[in-house]
Structure 1
Amino acid sequence: MESNQTKPGLLCNPEASQRTLYPYVTSVVALKYKDGILMAADMGGSYGSTLRYKSVERMKPIGKHSLLGASGEISDFQELLRYLDELILYDNMWDDGNSLGPKEVHNYLTRVMYNRRNKFNPLWNSLILGGVKKGQKYLGMASMIGVNFEDNHVATGFGNHLARPILRDEWHENLTFEEGVKLLEKCMRVLLYRDRSAVNKLQISKITEEGVTISQPYSLKTFWGFSAFENPTLGAEGSW
């Protein structure tokens, strides 16, 4: 008798809809700077272990005051954006002159992620939510199981291991826009060298009191011309 094998955690129903349980996760990195929030993400989208798409935008403005970046499953990110569109529309319908700030949107996302986790049907994303409202900068993250925190700089995926140490050493609260962009590019270059899921095509976005600006895609300068008889990581950024 043939066994009906399915992925762990799924019912043995061949007609049930199935989603990947092991998506390839790329990184988003964000930090506070003097005037607001800066966020960077590459544009890779994986199909299994294949880097199939290289023009996937993973940072989106949310309402008037917030910017969302996501790594993980693209389809789940699209589902989250649909939830947020409904949330912003419902908030605007009140027409009371008030609008949701980044803290409220972040709290909403943590509840959504935790709720889906409790239903054993999580949205397979790690999220970064940044924004500025009434002069107050806000930056937080939420994991796929609802774990969340606020900080002066945050990252998802391998960025937690490779970019955060750099940010701890070099970040300060009076970063200019140019210094912040340079620091994010350094982090993204380290991720490109070290993370096989990263691609050399990225965007950097900023959000201030004036609103959200997302850059055109561009590539970083890299160097791969190492001698076969040398240590290719010697002196490179992110080396041990």
Structure 2
Amino acid sequence: MDHFPTNWGRPRSEAVDLYNTYPLHNRPGPKADAFTEGVQRTQAPIVTGTSVLAFRFKDGIIMAADNLASYGSLARFKDVQRLIPVGAYTVIGGGGDMSDLQHINHLLEGLIIEELCEEDGHALGPAEIYEYLSQVLYARRSKMDPLWNSLLVGGFKDGKSFLGYVDLLGTTYTASTLATGYGSMIAQPLLRKYVEGREETLTEDEGKKIIEECMKVLFYRDARSINKYQIATITEKGISISESLSAHTEWSFAEKIRGYGAQTQ
């Protein structure tokens, strides 16, 4: 079982399979009887989304994710929304398996409807959604049938912003800057540099410029990303998710690099 999010949707070696990614009946040689292997579980996600970025600013939370869902190494679906509003106060951003993210969205929709039916004057906020997801993902992990996602939960309620991380192992933590997937290695250092220590003074416009720069860097460096993304802001005014945006990128430098430009010799 390959439980490293950075490997999801990427080519793997069939010769060396440390995490038993490939079931026995898919390996070379005589095929085993599928019934003798017991109940089968998803061993690796197929259609996957990459990084989600989020950080706190003085009025709330900013979150961003691109619109690509990759089928292995193929950029298959280019208009997927991976920022999902939950209730009136929360947005979740999901990386990893897209079908599992749809399942999580269905669970959350049912939870919100159930809460509304109570009519007790209370509404679920980001902290409650975060706790719910941590329990759901940990329970599925404990059954050896995880939901193959890494999630960011951001929201604003009762004058306080909230930002937390949950993954397929049930790992949870909160911070003022968070990223999933490849963004945790490439974009997280940029977020820490420009955001940490400025959470109480950083404006929304400044935050969006930082997000734009980070998404541009990811498009340059991550082969599973696309130059088409959405930004969500969650403040006391509510949730706002933008239309698909595109950062200005520059590739003219590649003309002088052998293998990228038009050189033939």
Equivalent in 153, 158, 163 of residue 129 of structure 1:
153
Helix, strand or coil for the counterpart of 2:247? coil
Counterpart Cα distance in 2 of 1:102 and 1:140: 9
Amino acid at match of 1:116: R
Amino acid at match of 2:132: Y
Equivalent in 11, 15, 21 of residue 44 of structure 2:
21
2:34 aligned residue:
12
Kindly indicate whether residue 131 of structure 2 is the aligned counterpart of residue 111 of structure 1: no
2:245 aligned residue:
218
Helix, strand or coil for the counterpart of 2:63? strand
Counterpart Cα distance in 2 of 1:206 and 1:96: 28
Q: 1:132 and 1:226, CA in 2 relative to 1: closer, same or farther beyond 3 A?
A: same
- Residue 218 of structure 1: CA displacement? 1.6
Counterpart Cα distance in 1 of 2:80 and 2:211: 19
Counterpart Cα distance in 1 of 2:107 and 2:54: 23
Q: 1:163 and 1:15, CA in 2 relative to 1: closer, same or farther beyond 3 A?
A: same
Counterpart Cα distance in 2 of 1:210 and 1:56: 26
Q: 1:100 and 1:199, CA in 2 relative to 1: closer, same or farther beyond 3 A?
A: same
Q: 1:215 and 1:116, CA in 2 relative to 1: closer, same or farther beyond 3 A?
A: same
Deviations 1:28-71 (A, max 9, x none): 00011111111010000111210111100000110111111101
1:209 aligned residue:
236
Given that residues 231 and 241 in structure 2 are in contact (C-alpha distance below 8 angstroms), is that contact kept between their aligned partners in structure 1?
Answer: yes
Counterpart Cα distance in 2 of 1:97 and 1:83: 22
TM-score by length of 1: 0.88
Aligned residues: 226
Equivalent in 187, 191, 216 of residue 167 of structure 1:
191
Q: 1:147 and 1:4, CA in 2 relative to 1: closer, same or farther beyond 3 A?
A: closer
Equivalent positions of 1:54-69 (< 5 A) are 54-69=78-93
Please tell me whether Structure 1 or Structure 2 has the larger radius of gyration of its CA atoms.
Answer: 2
Equivalent positions of 1:1-240 (< 5 A) are 5-6=25-26, 12-13=34-35, 19=42, 21-23=44-46, 24-171=48-195, 172-173=198-199, 174-227=201-254, 229=256
Given that residues 6 and 12 in structure 1 are in contact (C-alpha distance below 8 angstroms), is that contact kept between their aligned partners in structure 2?
Answer: no
TM-score by length of 2: 0.80
Gaps of 5+ in 2: 1-22, 28-32, 259-265
Counterpart Cα distance in 1 of 2:79 and 2:164: 25
Helix, strand or coil for the counterpart of 1:189? helix
Amino acid at match of 1:104: E
Counterpart Cα distance in 1 of 2:162 and 2:223: 31
Counterpart Cα distance in 2 of 1:17 and 1:43: 30
**RMSD between aligned residues:** 2.2
